[in-house]
């Protein structure tokens, strides 16, 4: 089914509720529907068309249309199509039906839209505050156009995060708010009966930086790639690539071939350094620090190589709209091959040693089970999804940069445990090295930057994704006036994967909790979300602030 047919199918099925649909190229479908039909359309896409949920976005369009634009993004991976479902809700009554009851993965993003734009998801099973800090004023929505990017409301006294009470008879083990293993802000309260985990409570968002707001209010098109790169401290280049691709697509900018190859090479170098870093951290988490020392030793020459070809060991600063800023000169091809081959050889030795190491296997095999069904339901991405038998990989499903001209392998394992996620990454690293060699072999000559002479048109939109080391990074841009996007929406892969943690922790021993959390390579600062789920019953209870204050304030809290 091509993108046009999919649009017509939806139009036929929902008739007058589909106001309009348009396509962009062979892979992007934009459907505008009435607010009343939102739940039905979302359910149809999720259940009948086999779509995977990506993210929700809210845009304040009161200046242009006297309305808020609510958009749900889906993807049909087999047909290689991204679908945006737009619906407009009036500015006088900012409410929209929640799709979370039919599409569970929409849980966080609908709450985020409520927090940031102020459109209330009606019928949401868990409508608590998600993104904003506890003392943020109720009626101040940061992503509305009339709220300044640097507004600082006064801090309030006597506020506390809404916490979940442990099940009857269970004890609480707090991990955080500064997660000591990953050195990142995350606060898990793990409920245990003896050594067995029976539930978890997560509070995040300690590092919310308002990057989307900056991109839509003070920065210009070519300043955004640099802040996009700083969304993540390990795999930032994926965000700057994804952002640039999105704007290039929306404005119809043709990127030169050579620039696409350079982006591909740098993306794969980043994958290698990220996976080597991750394996070291995983070893560190389970108390096997030799792995940490050795993988980070292997990784260091790669960081120096990146410093040499991009100008920095991380935060490369390579991308601008239309291409890349630095060429990779033919005289360094040999050095690139030398560095990655050395890593490849040692990595292969390490990969061969791991399955025979009973200490490692005891910690990895059979722990942190994330079933294929749960992974699909909660929209898992990247190695987390591939370790649970979901064969999704943006590089093959929605090719970008030069990946359509290169041979990429999907590394999938179906044992669904921590070991599967380790094996996926071990294989992917070796595959990334092969891809870099291929790209260097085929590298075309030519310019590295497209000339952009005219102002970018306003009111255009595009979606683009990049397969980050942690999974699918998704960006959507609606172009605006004043040389900046009107709305720029980012989804980091940990956003989806973090929602999979509570089911993953279920029935594990307490000692396995850190490696379960570590096994999906979380990047809290990229994501920063909050979730409370009772794993025992699967129930999500909603508490008012008053109830929480009365029941859970500890003596001395006030």
Partner 1 sequence: MIASKLKEAILSLRPGRVTLKYPFAPHDPEGDFRGYPEIDTDKCIGCGGCAAVCPARLIMIQDIDQNTRRIVRLLERCIFCGRCADVCPEDAITMTKRFELSTDSGREDMESECQVFMATCQRCGRCYEPPSALDKIMKPGLRNDEVKRGGQDSPYKHISSE
Interface ranges with partner 1 (CB under 8 A) = 218-220, 222-227, 230, 290, 293-294, 297, 300, 304-305, 307-309, 311-312, 315, 317, 325-326, 346, 349-350, 352-358
Q: Kindly tell me which of 294 and 409 has the beta carbon lying closer to partner 1.
A: 294
Strand, helix or coil for residue 111: helix
| Nearest distance in Å: CB 317, partner 1 | 4
| Nearest distance in Å: CB 307, partner 1 | 4
Q: Kindly tell me which of 191 and 221 has the beta carbon lying closer to partner 1.
A: 221
Q: How far apart, in whole angstroms, are the C-alpha atoms of residue 537 and residue 21?
A: 41
E runs forming strands in 115-167: 120-122
Would you say 52 and 74 are in contact if contact means Cβ atoms under 8 Å apart? Answer: yes
Would you say 230 and 241 are in contact if contact means Cβ atoms under 8 Å apart? Answer: no
Q: In Å, how far from its chain's centre is CA 477?
A: 16
> Do strands 461-468 and 28-33 pair parallel, antiparallel, or not at all (unpaired)?
unpaired
| Nearest distance in Å: CB 260, partner 1 | 21
Backbone CA torsion sign across 515, 411, 240, 143: negative
Q: Kindly tell me which of 1 and 361 has the beta carbon lying closer to partner 1.
A: 361
| Nearest distance in Å: CB 279, partner 1 | 13
Q: Tokens 């795999």 appear where?
A: 235
Q: Kindly tell me which of 1 and 352 has the beta carbon lying closer to partner 1.
A: 352
| Nearest distance in Å: CB 145, partner 1 | 20
CA dihedral 393, 273, 440, 348 (to 10 degrees): -90
Q: Kindly tell me which of 144 and 325 has the beta carbon lying closer to partner 1.
A: 325
Strand, helix or coil for residue 10: helix
| Nearest distance in Å: CB 352, partner 1 | 7
Give the CA angle between residues 128, 96, 378 to the nearest 5°: 60
Q: Tokens 């949401």 appear where?
A: 124
| Nearest distance in Å: CB 305, partner 1 | 8
Q: Kindly tell me which of 315 and 452 has the beta carbon lying closer to partner 1.
A: 315
- The neighbouring-strand residues paired with 179 are 184
Would you say 284 and 278 are in contact if contact means Cβ atoms under 8 Å apart? Answer: no
| Nearest distance in Å: CB 209, partner 1 | 14
Strand, helix or coil for residue 477: strand
Q: Kindly tell me which of 220 and 550 has the beta carbon lying closer to partner 1.
A: 220
Strand, helix or coil for residue 244: helix
Q: Kindly tell me which of 308 and 377 has the beta carbon lying closer to partner 1.
A: 308
Q: How far apart, in whole angstroms, are the C-alpha atoms of residue 226 and residue 318?
A: 9
| Nearest distance in Å: CB 477, partner 1 | 17
Q: Kindly tell me which of 53 and 221 has the beta carbon lying closer to partner 1.
A: 221
Q: Kindly tell me which of 32 and 294 has the beta carbon lying closer to partner 1.
A: 294
| Nearest distance in Å: CB 266, partner 1 | 14
Tokens of 507: 């029935």
| Nearest distance in Å: CB 297, partner 1 | 6
For residue 539, count other CB atoms closer than 10 A to its CB.
9
For residue 180, count other CB atoms closer than 10 A to its CB.
9
Q: Kindly tell me which of 57 and 429 has the beta carbon lying closer to partner 1.
A: 429
Q: How far apart, in whole angstroms, are the C-alpha atoms of residue 274 and residue 380?
A: 19
Say what angle helices 330-353 and 289-310 make with each other, to 10 degrees.
170
| Nearest distance in Å: CB 349, partner 1 | 6
| Nearest distance in Å: CB 275, partner 1 | 17
Whole-number CA gyration radius for the chain: 23
| Nearest distance in Å: CB 60, partner 1 | 23
Sheet with 531-533, edge to edge strand ranges: 171-175, 187-193, 196-203, 531-533
Residue 119's Cβ-count burial label (10 Å; 0-12, 13-18, 19+) is buried
Residue of 434, 423, 422, 426 whose CA lies nearest to 395:
434
Q: Kindly tell me which of 125 and 355 has the beta carbon lying closer to partner 1.
A: 355
The DSSP element (H or E) to which 3 belongs, if any, is: helix 3-14
> Do strands 120-122 and 95-97 pair parallel, antiparallel, or not at all (unpaired)?
parallel
Q: Kindly tell me which of 358 and 539 has the beta carbon lying closer to partner 1.
A: 358
Q: Kindly tell me which of 72 and 314 has the beta carbon lying closer to partner 1.
A: 314
Would you say 271 and 428 are in contact if contact means Cβ atoms under 8 Å apart? Answer: yes
């Amino acid at each position: 089914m091509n993108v046009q047919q999919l649009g017509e199918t939806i139009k036929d099925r929902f008739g007058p509720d589909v106001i309009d649909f348009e396509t962009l190229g062979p892979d992007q479908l934009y459907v505008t529907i009435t607010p009343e039909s939102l739940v039905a359309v979302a359910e149809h896409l999720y259940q009948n068309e086999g779509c995977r949920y990506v993210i929700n976005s809210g845009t304040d369009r009161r200046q242009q249309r006297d309305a808020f634009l609510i958009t749900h993004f889906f993807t049909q991976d087999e047909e290689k199509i991204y679908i945006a479902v737009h619906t407009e809700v009036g500015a006088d009554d900012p409410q929209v039906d929640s799709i979370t009851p039919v599409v569970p993965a929409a849980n966080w993003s609908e709450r985020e839209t409520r927090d940031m734009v102020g459109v209330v998801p009606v019928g949401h099973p868990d409508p608590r505050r998600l993104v904003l800090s506890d003392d943020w004023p109720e009626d101040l929505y940061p992503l509305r156009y009339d709220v300044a990017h640097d507004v600082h409301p006064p801090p309030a006294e006597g506020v506390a995060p809404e916490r979940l009470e442990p099940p009857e008879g269970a004890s609480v083990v707090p991990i955080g708010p500064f997660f000591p293993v990953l050195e990142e802000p995350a606060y898990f309260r793990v409920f245990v009966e003896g050594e067995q985990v029976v539930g978890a409570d997560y509070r995040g968002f300690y590092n919310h930086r308002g990057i989307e707001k900056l991109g839509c209010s003070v920065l210009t098109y070519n300043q955004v790639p640099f802040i996009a790169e700083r969304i993540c401290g390990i795999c930032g280049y994926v965000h700057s690539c994804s952002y640039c691709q999105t704007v290039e697509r929306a404005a119809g900018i043709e990127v030169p071939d050579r620039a696409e190859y350079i982006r591909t090479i740098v993306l794969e170098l980043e994958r290698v350094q990220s996976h080597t870093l991750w394996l070291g951290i995983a070893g560190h988490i389970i108390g096997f620090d030799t792995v940490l020392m050795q993988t980070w030793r292997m990784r260091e020459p790669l960081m120096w190589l990146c410093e040499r070809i991009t100008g920095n060991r991380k935060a490369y600063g390579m991308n601008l709209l239309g291409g890349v800023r630095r060429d990779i000169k033919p005289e360094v091809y040999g050095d690139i091959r030398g560095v990655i081959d050395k890593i490849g050889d040692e990595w292969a030795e390490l990969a061969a040693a791991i399955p025979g190491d009973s200490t490692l296997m005891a910690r990895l095999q059979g722990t942190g089970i994330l079933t294929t069904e749960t992974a699909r339901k909660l929209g898992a991405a990247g190695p987390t999804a591939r370790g649970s038998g979901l064969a999704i990989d943006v590089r093959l499903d929605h090719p970008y940069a030069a990946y359509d001209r290169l041979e990429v392998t999907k590394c999938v394992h179906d044992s669904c445990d921590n070991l599967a996620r380790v094996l996926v990454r071990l294989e992917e690293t070796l595959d990334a090295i092969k891809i870099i060699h291929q790209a260097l072999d085929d590298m075309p000559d030519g310019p590295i930057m497209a000339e952009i002479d005219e102002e970018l048109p306003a009111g255009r939109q595009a979606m683009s994704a990049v397969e980050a080391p942690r999974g699918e990074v998704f960006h959507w841009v609606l172009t605006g006036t004043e040389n900046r996007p009107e709305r720029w929406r980012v989804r980091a892969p940990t956003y989806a994967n973090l929602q999979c943690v509570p089911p993953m922790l279920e029935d594990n021993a307490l000692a396995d909790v850190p490696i379960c959390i570590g096994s999906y390579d979380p990047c809290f600062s990229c994501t920063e979300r909050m979730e409370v789920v009772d794993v025992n019953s699967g129930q999500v209870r909603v508490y008012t602030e008053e109830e929480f204050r009365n029941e859970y304030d500890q003596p001395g809290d006030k």
